[in-house]
Amino acid sequence: MSNQRIIDEALEKLIEGNKRYVAGRPLHPHQDPDRRRDVVQGQQPFAVILGCSDSRIPPEIIFDQGLGDIFVIRVAGNVVDDIALGSIEYAVDHLGTKLVVVLGHGKCGAVSATVQGGEAHGHVASIVKAIAPAVERAKEKPGDLLDNAIKANAAIVRDHIKSSRPLLAEAVNEGNISVIGAYYDIRSGEVEII
């Protein structure tokens, strides 16, 4: 099977799972003792989700997936640093995952704090600093500044992952992986590809 077909099927699994979640008809796949026994030997997640730490945005639930299905990295503001990049590289290089999704979401507190400005204390300042370019980009667009900044942040992080050398950029250029951005509407539960 071609890499593109594997990527397309992975994205379709996420979209279909999100549709079930939105409709209130999740299947809760791969969450039984048999699956738990299956994954003891190893994992083969079909997608990586880089999402926000926000407790309202658990990727396994909003995409209706189970044990071993998705490789999840969560950090406030879905920002990426060397540790997150290393985690993505592990999933791609060692687990064979072909789809990477950067998942932003409505009402993101980290992006909201960056939009509001002011002084961020402690290590929160590093999150705000990472998100600041997205806020600047969003100021140029019509519409809601916060939503535009959330989507711009997901796009900037997506592009950063795609250009991360040597491993991820090479995998993207060779068509071995796809890196996309997405936006979770916290009200409707729907995920939109951006």
Please state, in angstroms and rounded to a whole number, the distance separating the CA atoms of residues 136 and 77. 15
User: What are the pLDDT tens digits along the chain (194 aa)?
Assistant: 899 999 999 999 999 999 999 999 999 999 999 999 999 999 999 999 999 999 999 999 999 999 999 999 999 999 999 999 999 999 999 999 999 999 999 999 999 999 999 888 999 999 999 999 999 999 999 999 999 999 999 999 999 999 999 999 999 999 999 999 999 999 999 999 99
Q: Rounded to 10 degrees, what is the CA torsion of 164, 170, 176, 179?
A: 20
Q: Return the pLDDT at 119.
A: 87
Which element (helix H / strand E) includes 191? strand 191-193
Q: Which CATH number fits domain 3-193: 1.10.230.10, 3.20.20.70, 3.30.720.200, 3.40.1050.10?
A: 3.40.1050.10
Q: Return the pLDDT at 1.
A: 86
Establish whether the linkage from the previous residue to 166 is cis, with ω within 30° of 0. yes
Q: How many CA atoms lie within 13 A of 77 on its CB side?
A: 28
Strand partners, 73: 50
Pairing of strands 70-74, 47-51: parallel
- Domain assignments of the chain as residue spans, ordered by start: 3-193
Strand partners, 181: 102
Q: Where are the beta strands (DSSP E) in 52-155?
A: 70-74, 99-105
Q: Return the pLDDT at 118.
A: 84
